[in-house]
Homo-oligomer: A and B are copies of this chain.
Amino acid sequence: MPETVLYVCATCRREGDDPEGPRAGARLLDALRARAEGVRVEPVECLSVCKRPCTVAVASPGRWTYVYGDLDPAEQAGVILEGLAAYAATPDGIVPWKQRPAAFRSGVIARIPPFPPPVGTREAAE
């Protein structure tokens, strides 16, 4: 099974964040690390999605990369990890639309094909 990495923007801020406390992104990172099993969780300083915090990206060799935003650090660590497990169970990273968590369907920011791309391949739009 190829390794799956969850990148978590640790610098994302959300409206209402306590300026003295850890940022929303750092709280999401902690929540994910506390629950994650069998997935590598890595902090990143900025995924350049600053208008839709919190944000994460999931990547794996031979699979599509997905970027998600609008994630709640207090509530959604569990659902992110569920979505990740579904992703890791596919050969190409493309989970059927209806099987994706609602947070992934509404929060998708972008997806990027596997690298290197198979020559001439065009994937179904989703």
CB-based nearest B residue for A67: B110
The binding surface of chain A is classed by DSSP as loop
Contact B47 A112 (CB under 8 A): yes
Q: How far is the CA of A116 from the CA of B57 in the complex (A)?
A: 13
In the complex, per-residue mask of A70-111: 1 if CB is within 8 Å of any chain B CB, else 0: 000000000000000000000000000000000000001111
Contact B110 A47 (CB under 8 A): yes
Question: What's the tally of chain A residues with a CB closer than 8 Å to chain B?
Answer: 34
Task: Return chain B residues, CB-CB under 8 Å to A44.
Answer: 113, 122-123
Task: Return chain B residues, CB-CB under 8 Å to A34.
Answer: none
Which of B11, B57, B117 makes the CB contact (< 8 A) with A112?
B57
Contact A42 B109 (CB under 8 A): no
Using known A-B contacts A110-B109, A110-B110, A122-B10, determine if residue A115 contacts B59 with beta carbons closer than 8 Å.
yes
Top 10 nearest A-B pairs (CB, nearest first) are A46-B125, A45-B125, A48-B111, A67-B110, A57-B112, A42-B117, A59-B115, A110-B110, A48-B108, A49-B110
19 contacts between A and B (CB under 8 A): A3-B116, A5-B116, A7-B112, A10-B122, A42-B117, A45-B123, A46-B125, A46-B126, A47-B111, A48-B108, A49-B110, A55-B110, A57-B112, A57-B113, A59-B112, A61-B115, A65-B65, A65-B115, A67-B67
